[in-house]
């Protein structure tokens, strides 16, 4: 059992999606996350162990490597796709309650900003870390964020912006969330954002990379 979980984690780390995919060359012709997750379930490995010791363990390694600058965005995206193949097999167990997410996160790009890539990468890290992510898109108004908080009752809200002209909208959105739902954590990120800006607007967390934001969620919200 331990061996197959280690194989799943390694395949997530290396971005080995399935047997039919040649990437990476060192694992060509071998089973990937898709096959190994299915085999683990058929062998009776508990779904929550596949999630924590296989899929999440592998994505944690990717996050640490990305944070250290040893892998790059294309590598992260391939690993995330591999992880999603395993999650396909686990979805019925989430729905049945056999395994549970750590919590919920609503995430969106703030009003006036149409950039999506950074938000998408952060969402993948959160999902890979065991969180249920509700992505409400780009150009999201404060009212739409509030409506999503009321509907989904998340532990945290993630705000993304790529422009200095749109990051200012984070202050208004953060203030409204904190006023209406003071227990909800606000996590902000994006190229122009800084820790001093986060402190000024009252956000609970700023991180220059997805792994740091995930660590905050795990530490403060789960």
Tens digit of pLDDT at every position of the chain (222 positions): 669 999 999 999 999 999 999 999 999 999 999 999 999 999 999 998 999 899 989 988 998 898 889 998 889 889 988 998 998 999 888 878 788 889 999 999 999 999 888 888 888 888 888 899 999 999 999 999 999 999 999 999 999 999 999 999 999 999 999 999 999 999 999 989 999 999 999 999 999 888 889 999 999 986
Phi-psi region of 143 (alpha: psi -120 to 50; beta: other; left: phi over 0): alpha
Domain boundary among 96, 118, 149: 96
Report pLDDT for 94: 83
For strands 132-135 and 185-189, give the pairing: unpaired
Tokens, residue 163: 């422009």
Residue 180 and residue 109 in one domain: yes
Report pLDDT for 95: 78
Q: For residues 18 and 83, is the Cβ–Cβ distance under 8 A?
A: no
Residue 43 and residue 117 in one domain: no
Domains of the chain: total: 2
Tokens, residue 140: 């999201």
Report pLDDT for 201: 97
Residue 92 and residue 109 in one domain: no
Residue 88 and residue 108 in one domain: no
Domain boundary among 77, 96, 115: 96
Residue 138 and residue 206 in one domain: yes
Residue 159 sits in a domain of what CATH number? 3.40.50.280
Report pLDDT for 136: 97
Tell which residue, 132, 133, 137, has the closest CA to residue 110. Answer: 137
| Residue 167, CA distances (Å) to 92, 171, 172, 181, 185 in order | 38, 8, 10, 21, 18
Q: Which domain holds residue 81?
A: 2-96
Domain boundary among 42, 69, 96: 96
- The predicted model scores a pTM of 0.81
Q: Please state, in angstroms and rounded to a whole number, the distance separating the CA atoms of residues 121 and 74.
A: 10
Residue 125 and residue 76 in one domain: no
Maximum CA extent, the chain: 55
Report pLDDT for 108: 97
């Amino acid at each position: 059992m331990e061996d197959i979980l280690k194989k799943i984690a390694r395949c997530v780390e290396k971005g080995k999606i399935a047997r039919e995919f040649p990437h990476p060359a060192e694992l060509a012709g071998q089973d990937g996350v898709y096959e190994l997750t299915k085999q683990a379930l058929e062998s009776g490995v508990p779904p929550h162990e596949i999630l924590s010791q296989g899929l999440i363990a592998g994505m944690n390694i990717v996050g640490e490597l990305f944070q250290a600058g040893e892998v790059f965005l294309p590598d992260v995206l391939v690993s995330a796709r591999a992880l999603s193949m395993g999650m396909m097999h686990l979805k019925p167990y989430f729905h049945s309650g056999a395994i549970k997410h750590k919590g919920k996160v609503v995430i969106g790009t703030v009003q006036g900003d149409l950039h999506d890539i950074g938000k998408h990468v952060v969402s993948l890290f959160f999902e890979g870390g065991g969180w249920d992510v509700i992505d409400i898109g780009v150009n999201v108004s404060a009212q739409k964020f509030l409506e999503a908080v009321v509907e989904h009752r998340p532990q945290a809200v993630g705000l993304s912006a790529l422009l200095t002209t749109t990051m200012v909208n984070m202050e208004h959105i953060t203030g409204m969330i904190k006023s209406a739902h003071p227990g909800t954590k606000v996590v902000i990120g994006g190229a122009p954002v800084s820790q001093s800006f986060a402190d000024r607007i009252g956000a609970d967390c700023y991180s220059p990379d997805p792994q740091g934001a995930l660590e905050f969620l795990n530490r403060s919200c789960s």
